[in-house]
Structure 1
Amino acid sequence: MDARLLLWRAGVPFELREQICRIIAVHQVPFFALQGDRSGRSPEFLLHKLSWELPLWMLCAVAEADMQGRNYAGKADVLDAIELWRELAQEEGCLHGPRAFADDYTRIQYLRGARVHPDYPLHAPQGSSVVMLSGLPASGKDTWTAQHHPELPVVSFDDARQALGLRHGQNEGAAAHYAIDRAKALLREHKPFVWNSTHLSAQMRNRTLDLLYGYGAQVEILYLERPEGEIMRRNQQRDTSLRNDDIRRMLFKWEVPLPTEAHRVVYQAVTG
């Protein structure tokens, strides 16, 4: 079972849980990071990105402990590589904190592959300001939107299903097309709006983010989380065709947004 799911059900505090999960996901990167990665990204890029996601000194310590425990002929060389990567992180100013960037727009462009230097700002285009919600069903996204941005237009797959007379899981393609067309119309006019959807996996979020960044939008991801029992109780009380078993299946696609995904990422998590 997924580590995030086990830790969530155990009531581990959000920040600690996510730090553990992020380190697990990349704990072997320092073994070979000095060679870059298969996508051709440089050791410096990997440092810069990861420094926004987790403490690099801790990642290096975990990688070193992992390698020390292995019976591997090339152990000494890998330990040397980890130490050199640690020293590079120190030189880049990101061993104990995020690598500094000229501004958030430059950071996102750099992390999405633009050939820019982190220290020199890019000119940001005029675009929509978008709050992109993320979180399991019944985690409070509708309530948050009504309380904090009642004045803004909302793009929502649930609203699209309702407009088209569809149940959850029925003709998802038509609902997605309807919602995306509404988002494009707002983006073309540079209007601010809220995109209210689960955006549960990185793949799901990337599809939305590619669209938003393609129109020059400034994006804030707001991630909402509640304990499992509360989510199931809330869902049973809602007027929805989504069953609790459907939510349980969704848990295995669950990936919390990373700080590197948007200009600003905010976490509002309640631990059970």
Structure 2
Amino acid sequence: MNIGYATGKEPLFGLNGQIFKQQTPNWTLIESLDWVQPMRDCPQEPDYHAEGDVWTHTRMVMEALLALPAFQTLDGREQSLLFHAALLHDVAKPQCTVIEDGKISSPRHAKVGEKVAREILWDCELPFREEVCALVRLHGLPLWIMDKPDPIRAAILSSWRVRNELIFLLAKADVLGRISATRDELMYRAELFRELCLDNHCFEQVAIWHNEHSRYRYFWSEETYPVEVFDDTAFEVIVLAGIAGSGKDTYYAKHYAHLPAVSLDNIRKELKIKPDDRDGQGKVARLAYERAKEFCRRKQSFVWNSTNLTQDLRARLFNALRVYDPKFTIVYLETSQENIFSRRKEDIKTSILERMIQQLDMPLVGEGHEVKWVK
């Protein structure tokens, strides 16, 4: 997917004067990008989007965003964050749109959109990219947060990804950038989100916690906010994560060579099981879990070295080991797509590496006691 930039050459996407500078979009460049045309061709439900196709709505959202007085008071970085999030907030609608009984909808477009945005922005500065991706994922949250089983939890967790004030401004622009009889109701919902966040001190800042163990406990449990738990962790499990070719083995050798490791790649070699042997992966996983639990029983810190690309995979590991009271540290490693494809071209098909990038769930704050991103 092309954004018109040389791989790895733009440290901060959008602040280089090509796409967006001094509150002025470069529409000529933007409309030349290859993911814009599918948005032009994608219809929307007239009851909610009488303005027409997804691209028409997207331009209206960006124009509404630029006109917001609150947007104009932000610094250049935050303006760029919001501009790129507005540009990409519905980028996945073309692949998510369905028509049933004459009604048009696009279920899961925000969730899929986060991953599409990450692919588009892969080689940009990592924290900037992930804040944009968070905004894409959460752009509808202010409109529907009161329908959540626990609205306060949703607001707390979103504040750990990106400032809720920015989510609110994007949602407000999303409402203003459409023609719909529901605009007033949606704007009222957005204001309720703002009040909820202000009441829980997480609108302009990250939700604060007693300690990292309390934050971790809140993330995976169903306890109510706030949580204050004594930190009784006895040893550390360092979980390396990243696409194949991202440098996990090198990072282990440099930073954690003093600790034993459970490496799924090494176990595959021991058992002579190839990476694409699906039937053999169960044997690899069982042996890896047995070794990990043995370290845990001895309260021995160790490294778990695998791709660990999805939150479900990481949660499965943590659920199995949590009873031993470890501190979980996630170290996510990343490199350019060019490096990924060149480093592993001899042993992993390009299509498999591309699928890994598409599947990636970035490790989030709270998912472990400590989460590091290294690029």
Q: TM-score normalized by structure 2? A: 0.66
Name the CA distance, whole Å, in 1 between partners of 2:339 and 2:183.
47
Q: Please tell me the residue identity of whatever aligns with 1:142.
A: D
Name the CA distance, whole Å, in 2 between partners of 1:63 and 1:4.
20
Aligned to 1:216: 325
Name the CA distance, whole Å, in 1 between partners of 2:360 and 2:131.
16
Name the CA distance, whole Å, in 1 between partners of 2:354 and 2:156.
35
1:261: how far off? 1.0
Aligned to 1:152: 259
Aligned to 1:165: 272
Contact (CA 8 Å) 2:163, 2:203: kept in 1 or not? yes
- Aligned match for 2:135, one of 2, 23, 26: 23
- Aligned match for 1:121, one of 228, 235, 250: 228
SS in 1 for 2:320: helix
Structure 1 position 131 matched with structure 2 position 238: yes
SS in 2 for 1:33: helix
Contact (CA 8 Å) 2:153, 2:225: kept in 1 or not? no
CA-based RMSD? 1.7
Q: Map of 1:53-64 to 2, 5 A cutoff?
A: 53-64=161-172
1:117: how far off? 4.1
Contact (CA 8 Å) 1:32, 1:81: kept in 2 or not? yes
- Aligned match for 2:335, one of 226, 231, 242: 226
1:219: how far off? 0.8
Contact (CA 8 Å) 1:127, 1:218: kept in 2 or not? yes
Name the CA distance, whole Å, in 1 between partners of 2:299 and 2:240.
19
Unaligned regions of 5+ residues in structure 1, if any? none
Contact (CA 8 Å) 1:132, 1:196: kept in 2 or not? yes
- Aligned match for 1:108, one of 196, 212, 216: 216
1:116: how far off? 4.8
Q: Of the two, which has the highest radius of gyration? A: 2
Q: Please tell me the residue identity of whatever aligns with 2:271.
A: L
Name the CA distance, whole Å, in 2 between partners of 1:180 and 1:233.
31
**CA offset digits 1:105-126 (Å, max 9, x no partner):** 11111121242542x5212334
Q: TM-score normalized by structure 1? A: 0.89
Structure 1 position 77 matched with structure 2 position 77: no
Structure 1 position 202 matched with structure 2 position 308: no
Name the CA distance, whole Å, in 2 between partners of 1:73 and 1:213.
49
**CA offset digits 1:65-120 (Å, max 9, x no partner):** 111223333321221121121122122221122101111111111121242542x5
Name the CA distance, whole Å, in 2 between partners of 1:162 and 1:26.
41
SS in 2 for 1:52: helix
Q: After TM superposition, what 4+ stretches of structure 1 lie above 6 angstroms from structure 2?
A: none
1:164: how far off? 1.0
SS in 1 for 2:244: coil
Structure 1 position 4 matched with structure 2 position 118: yes
Name the CA distance, whole Å, in 1 between partners of 2:341 and 2:265.
18
Name the CA distance, whole Å, in 2 between partners of 1:222 and 1:232.
21
Contact (CA 8 Å) 1:127, 1:187: kept in 2 or not? no
1:242: how far off? 2.7
Instruction: Give identity over the alignment, percent.
Output: 29
Aligned to 1:175: 284
Q: Please tell me the residue identity of whatever aligns with 1:163.
A: E
- Aligned match for 1:143, one of 245, 250, 253: 250
Name the CA distance, whole Å, in 1 between partners of 2:340 and 2:260.
26
1:143: how far off? 0.6
Name the CA distance, whole Å, in 1 between partners of 2:363 and 2:160.
12
Of structures 1 and 2, the one with the larger relative CO (CA 8 A, separation 6+) is: 1
Q: Map of 1:244-259 to 2, 5 A cutoff?
A: 244-259=350-365
**CA offset digits 1:193-221 (Å, max 9, x no partner):** 11111111222222222223243221111
Name the CA distance, whole Å, in 2 between partners of 1:4 and 1:110.
27
1:174: how far off? 0.6
**CA offset digits 1:106-157 (Å, max 9, x no partner):** 1111121242542x52123344301111111111100111111111110111
Structure 1 position 242 matched with structure 2 position 351: no
Structure 1 position 95 matched with structure 2 position 203: yes
